[in-house]
């Protein structure tokens, strides 16, 4: 049986008990395109993505409407952003303000975790 597609966590009723979700990345469905494999885990205030990127892949300049954190798990990429060029390596964490532009060239097969915060409002 294929794994269930994760859905955004429903908002808890005012008196409902807190809930916890436990996942394994490999059990979530993958979306694959152009050398990139993404697995998403949505929540109520943020979402996580596990991203595997093949060496030689480029992410052209772009921005997001939300704040974003990116954790480099393995591999190497050359990031270009408002702060200048950054040689991304495992253990590094990047935070982007909403609408902060960035691009990247992936030198090695790379694994990232993205934390995407829902826009305020």
CA-nearest of 74, 68, 73 to 115 is 68
pLDDT value at residue 75: 98
If one compares 11 and 57, the residue with the highest pLDDT of the two is 57
Positive/negative CA dihedral, 68, 79, 62, 53: negative
pLDDT value at residue 15: 74
Q: How many Cα atoms within 13 Å fall on the side-chain side of residue 51?
A: 22
pLDDT value at residue 79: 97
Domains and CATH numbers, the chain: 25-117 (2.60.120.10)
Query: pLDDT digit string (tens) for 77-96?
Result: 999 999 899 999 999 999 99
pLDDT value at residue 6: 56
**Cα–Cα distance measured from residue 32 to residue 41, given in angstroms and rounded to the nearest whole number:** 15
Close Cβ partners of 18 (under 8 Å, ≥ 6 residues apart): 12
Can you give the pTM of this predicted structure?
0.83
């Amino acid at each position: 049986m294929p794994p269930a597609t994760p859905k955004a966590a429903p908002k808890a009723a005012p008196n409902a008990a807190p809930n916890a979700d436990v996942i394994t990345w490999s059990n979530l469905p993958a979306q694959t395109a152009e050398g990139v494999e993404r697995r998403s885990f949505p929540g109520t205030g943020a979402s996580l993505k596990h991203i595997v990127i093949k060496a030689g892949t480029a992410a052209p300049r772009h921005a997001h409407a939300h704040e974003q954190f990116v954790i480099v798990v393995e591999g190497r990429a050359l990031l270009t952003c408002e702060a200048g060029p950054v040689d991304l390596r495992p253990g590094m964490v990047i935070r982007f303000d909403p609408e902060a532009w960035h691009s990247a060239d992936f030198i090695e097969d790379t694994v990232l975790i993205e934390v995407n915060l829902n826009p305020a409002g």
